[in-house]
Amino acid sequence: MEKDVIVALDFPSANVAREFLARFDGEARKPFVKVGMELFYAAGPDFVLELKSKGYKIFLDLKLHDIPNTVAGAVRSLKGLGVDMLTLHASGGREMFMRAREAVKDMKRPPILLAVTVLTSFSDVGRKEALLGENRSAEDAVYHLAHLALQGGADGVVSSAMEGKYLREHIRQSFPLVCPGIRPAGASVGDQKRVVTPADARDIGVDYIVVGRPITQAKDPVAAYKAIKEEFLGGNQ
């Protein structure tokens, strides 16, 4: 598995995203990019197809979560986009992932189905509210959700790197671990509550880090991207 930095295109329109990506036109390799709900709902599937036609790897972060039949239908509807990764909420349960897995079984190159566990914006209070008052630790909640989703057919897990170490130690099977909430030392954490540095994520055993504002809002996004990639991957680029 090739580790990488994924740049979060958290922009309100396709034009803003295009302007940002134009800064990378002179680079030898296009960045791996994340298209989340904001951009997908604004620009639609056509923009995802445009990015794919230009050679971008795409992490489609829609966090699908509904009854199993509805999620399976949504996954089938997204198959034509050819994305590389697709997220579903782990709290949807084992059957939801089983149905999603079934929906992509006929694809030659199906997307990596990722289970989103506990959002990195959650504080302890917010997590307890979302878990209906259950007094689980963050590590226990993430482990429980990740284990359930992997049993149902998820390929990998999205979690804070702070819980990633626990997952690596307690889930014996090999799986891609994708971690948002990454901030270089000294960077503003914004609305994130559980953050680590790229170097910390590397040492924990994270496969992909998702980085948005420290790159997209930097004075020189390309330089910021390269610095974060160097810190995360070192000489393995």
Q: What is the pLDDT of residues 135-185, one digit of tens each?
A: 667 778 888 899 999 999 999 999 888 888 889 888 877 899 999 989 887
pLDDT at 141 (0 to 100): 82
Is the pLDDT score of 120 beyond 60? no
Find, among 52, 53, 13, 12, the residue nearest to 33 by Cα.
52
DSSP 38-79: HHHHHH-HHHHHHHHHTT--EEEEEEE-S-HHHHHHHHHHHG
Distance CA 111, CA 58 (A): 10
Q: Which pair of tokens denotes residue 205?
A: 């055993």
pLDDT in tens, 21-68: 999 998 999 999 999 999 999 999 999 999 999 999 999 999 999 999
All structural domains of the chain, each given as residue ranges with its CATH number in brackets, are 4-233 (3.20.20.70)
pLDDT in tens, 63-95: 999 999 999 999 999 999 999 999 999 989 999
Q: Which pair of tokens denotes residue 49?
A: 């197809």
Active-site amino acid positions:
63
Distance CA 98, CA 75 (A): 12
H-helix or E-strand spanning residue 201: helix 198-204
pLDDT in tens, 197-232: 999 999 999 999 999 999 999 999 999 999 999 999
Output Rg (C-alpha) for the chain, integer angstroms.
Answer: 17
